[in-house]
Structure 1
Amino acid sequence: MAGQSTVERVKALITPIIEAQQLELVDVEFHREGKSNVLRVFIDKPDGVTIDDCQRVSQECDIVLDVENVIQSQYVFEVSSPGLDRPLKKLHDFVRFQNRLVKIKTYQAIDGRKNFLGRLQGVRELEGKDAIEVLVLLEDTNEEVVIPYESISSARLEVEF
């Protein structure tokens, strides 16, 4: 595990624990908040996570992280749901949340813009190329925009009422 970031090492250690409980690891964050280091793990499942899920994952992961001594300094460890505005981190997220309202930011401008708000239409592979595109129906213009998957810097669900 030499050369890996703290977040990558944590992911490698806790993913099997989380998956064994039929849960999904959505994201791992490790950063300074005020005077404390915070390790925050986000988990999910199709019908949403419960406090019991978070508590169970916290207890099991805490033991492994202590034994493996991944983080040498003191830190606060939190396990949480990703929330209603969960980030879309993996390709399967873009498939799973098809027809949902999303906010996507890109590294480079596409048609003169880097921020997109619209209904996720799905994903498609480009024939003969090793590339994937995300299709979004824009809220403001009702036009479909095609966003190269590798151009997405961040994406998250938008809360709908």
Structure 2
Amino acid sequence: MAKVSNTDRKILPILEPIIAERNLELVDLEFVKEGANWYLRVYIDKEGGVDIDDCEGVSRALEAKLDTEDPIEQAYILEVSSPGIDRPLKKDADFEKYRGEIIDIKLYKGLNGQKQYQGKLLGLENGVISIEDEENKVITFEQKEVAGVRLAVIF
């Protein structure tokens, strides 16, 4: 699920110490082209959530290091933010931390004619994600077949 790109390999050694010294968690890192612009997006979190000062501190420190080391050839826009209430689950530890929470799963290819599922996260074991749907039925997904997993937003 979580593939590491060449850009990630260049950025992570610069970013991880900045995140660690602020007692934050790196949730996700994206380097994507949207329209004419490239974006380097860093999603951070901590217990109780991040605030604007956390995002600003990481942004300023990372920007200074990136300007010095210049690991990315093309021009880009740096964005540092919270993962939001529909936080993606990417790392194995995320699946343990959010066990029992309602999640949304999107598949690359449909299973029984369906590409999106929602249910209570039972866990991740040996590359298999298990959920319990509203009818208390356990459904399993091979992690390699899953396009994305997010905490569900339920109002």
TM-score category of the 2 structures, normalised to the smaller one: 0.7 to 0.9
Structure 1 residue 68: Cα displacement: 1.3
Q: Is residue 2:141 matched to residue 1:147?
A: yes
Structure 1 residue 137: Cα displacement: 0.7
2:13 corresponds to: 12
Q: Secondary structure at the match of 2:150?
A: strand
Structure 1 residue 19: Cα displacement: 1.7
Aligned equivalents of 1:76 and 1:85: distance in 2? 23
Q: Secondary structure at the match of 2:44?
A: strand
2:127 corresponds to: 132
Structure 1 residue 111: Cα displacement: 5.2
- How high is the TM-score relative to the length of structure 2? 0.86
2:59 corresponds to: 58
Structure 1 residue 109: Cα displacement: 4.8
For each residue in 1:57-113, what CA deviation from the matched residue of structure 2 results, as whole angstroms up to 9, or x when unmatched? 001111111111112222211100000011111111111111111111234555554
Which ranges in structure 2 are unaligned for 5 or more consecutive residues? Answer: none
- How high is the TM-score relative to the length of structure 1? 0.83
Aligned equivalents of 1:152 and 1:14: distance in 2? 27
1:71 corresponds to: 72
**RMSD between superposed Cα atoms in Å:** 1.9
**Higher RCO (C-alpha under 8 Å, 6+ residues apart):** 2
2:33 corresponds to: 32
- Taking only the aligned residue pairs, the percentage that are identical comes to 40
Which ranges in structure 1 are unaligned for 5 or more consecutive residues? Answer: 125-130
Aligned equivalents of 1:50 and 1:96: distance in 2? 21
Aligned equivalents of 1:143 and 1:152: distance in 2? 19
Aligned length: 151
Give the letter for the 1:47 counterpart: G
1:115 corresponds to: 116
2:23 corresponds to: 22
Runs of 4+ in structure 1 over 6 Å off: none
Aligned equivalents of 2:146 and 2:101: distance in 1? 17
Give the letter for the 2:13 counterpart: A
Task: Assess, with a 3 A threshold, how the Cα gap between structure 1 residues 49 and 148 changes in structure 2: closer, same or farther.
Answer: same
Structure 1 residue 24: Cα displacement: 0.8
